[in-house]
Amino acid sequence: MADFDIELVGKIGSMALIDREYQDMNYNIIARLSRELRPGYIWVTSGAAEIGRLDFVKRTGRELTGSEEDNKTDYSAQGQSVLMQTYRQFVDSRFSVRQILVEHHHFNDPEKRRHLLDMLLRCPGQNAIPIINYNDPVSDEENRKHEIFSLREARGKAIECVDNDETASQIACLVRCRTLLILTTTDGIYLDPADPSSLVERVSGKDVYELIENVDELQSHCRGTSRKGSQGAWAKLEYVKEPLTRGTTVIIGSSRHSIASLLSGEAKATRIGL
């Protein structure tokens, strides 16, 4: 990997980890994907809040009754342990698994960025797989928004990490990865979400400027989100623009498929890059 420091940054969304029919974590998906993780891969996982909620309900028979912000904090703290226990159970026992909880500070502060980068780059040589999530249990939304506003006022730009699509894209930029894989509940980006035949399988261009123009065009077809709090396909495409300008190939596809089949092109997906 002469031009890239890391082979793959992968991200899986909350909806792709949940079995709605049984109101539980989808153990089949997380087990199958975990078995494919190996050194040289960085995995960004959502799902802590929803998995924590489901785990709490299973244990108590009720949901929390606090504010939405407090509930998210408490559910996330509970879900983190369930997520990591499950990943550790199914990742190849020869490999170490390392939980990394990040916040916007780690991307906006140069020293923290360097510390995070150095740690991530040590992992392949130590046979370790980093599993990253945003640190919701200690992140108060009102305080975060105030800090982001202050950073934008001072610098004109700030990384917010409003969801893990942005987190994964920023990790991809930080470590200079060959491929950024974003797993969802669909096969990729559609011109018409109601028409499966409108899947956009390839976005490219003669140079990076034309590539970004074509991503802009695709964004004009994106409306709506899959769940409350998610940013939807438009935001996914917005977040991946920076990795694309750095030479990373982006694949947006379904968690029904294996990582290997998505990387090889065997499985249908939206592939973006030069």
| DSSP character string of 37-70 | --TTEEEEE--HHHHHHHHHHHHHSS---S-HHH
DSSP 172-210: HHHHTEEEEEEEESSSS-BSSTT-GGGB--EE--SSHHH
pLDDT for the residue numbered 159? 65
pTM for this predicted structure: 0.90
Output the average pLDDT for the chain.
Answer: 90
Checking if the pLDDT of 226 tops 50, the result is: no
Q: How many helices (H) and strands (E) does the chain have?
A: 11, 10
Residue entry with tokens 């159970």: 89
Taking phi over 0 as left and psi of -120 to 50 as alpha, with beta for the rest, 227 belongs to beta
Q: How far apart are CA 153 and CA 40, in angstroms?
A: 37
Residue extents of the structural domains in the chain: 6-272
pLDDT category of residue 150 using cuts at 50, 70 and 90 = low
pLDDT category of residue 1 using cuts at 50, 70 and 90 = very low
Q: What percent of the chain has pLDDT over 70?
A: 87
pLDDT for the residue numbered 139? 66
pLDDT for the residue numbered 151? 56
Q: How far apart are CA 216 and CA 237, in angstroms?
A: 8
CATH number for 6-272: choose from 3.10.20.600, 3.90.50.10, 3.40.1160.10, 3.20.10.10: 3.40.1160.10
The residue count for the chain: 274
The separation between the first and the last C-alpha atoms of the chain, rounded to the nearest angstrom, is 17
Name which of 62-66, 80-84, 142-146, 181-185 the model is least confident about: 142-146
- Classify strands 270-272 and 202-203 as parallel, antiparallel or unpaired: parallel
Checking if the pLDDT of 228 tops 70, the result is: no
* Residue 65 structure tokens: 């009754």
